[in-house]
Amino acid sequence: MWGLFIFVLMSIPGDILPEIPKLMNLFEPDKLVHLFLFLVFIFLMLRGFTHEASPDYFRNNAFFLALLITIFISGLTEVLQHYVIPGRIASLYDYIANVVGCFVGLWIFIALRNRRSAQYNRHET
C-alpha cells in the first residue's frame, strides 16, 4: 500500500504542485520527502518480509529483496515522472535521496531488531 501511495504522490502533475519560494530552492526540502517516503517503504517491506507468516525465501533474503525492490521502484518513479507525468522531470538528486532513504530505513530496521533481540536475551538470562 505504501508503494502505491508513493506512486500516487509522484504522479501529481508538476503544474498542480505549489510553487516553492526561490529561497527554499537552496535547501530543496523535497529531498527530505523523498528520503522519508523510501525510508518508510523499505521499513514496511522488511517488516512484512521478516514476519513469521512470510515464506522462508522472503524471511531468509529480506534485506537483499527489500533493497532490490525499493531501489528499483525509486528509479522507476523517476523514469515515470520524466516520461509519463506532465510537468515533472526525472532528477538524479531525487533518486539519490530515494536510495539514501532506503539505506537509512534498512539501518533503522536492523538497529531496532538488534535492540529488541538484546533486550529479549537480557530478560532470558
- The predicted-structure confidence for 13-48, as pLDDT tens digits, reads as follows 755 655 655 444 435 678 888 899 999 999 999 999
Instruction: Confirm whether 1 is domain-assigned.
Output: no
Instruction: Confirm whether 79 is domain-assigned.
Output: yes
Q: How far is CA 11 from CA 4, 27, 81, in A?
A: 10, 23, 7
Instruction: Confirm whether 112 is domain-assigned.
Output: yes
Instruction: Confirm whether 97 is domain-assigned.
Output: yes
Could you give the number of structural domains in the chain? 1
Instruction: Confirm whether 78 is domain-assigned.
Output: yes
Residue 67 structural domain: 31-124
Q: Which pTM was predicted?
A: 0.75
Q: Do 28 and 91 meet the contact criterion of CB atoms below 8 Å apart?
A: no
Q: Which tens digits make up the pLDDT trace of 81-114?
A: 899 888 888 888 889 999 999 999 999 999 999 9
H-assigned helices in the chain:
2-10, 22-25, 30-50, 56-60, 62-83, 92-124
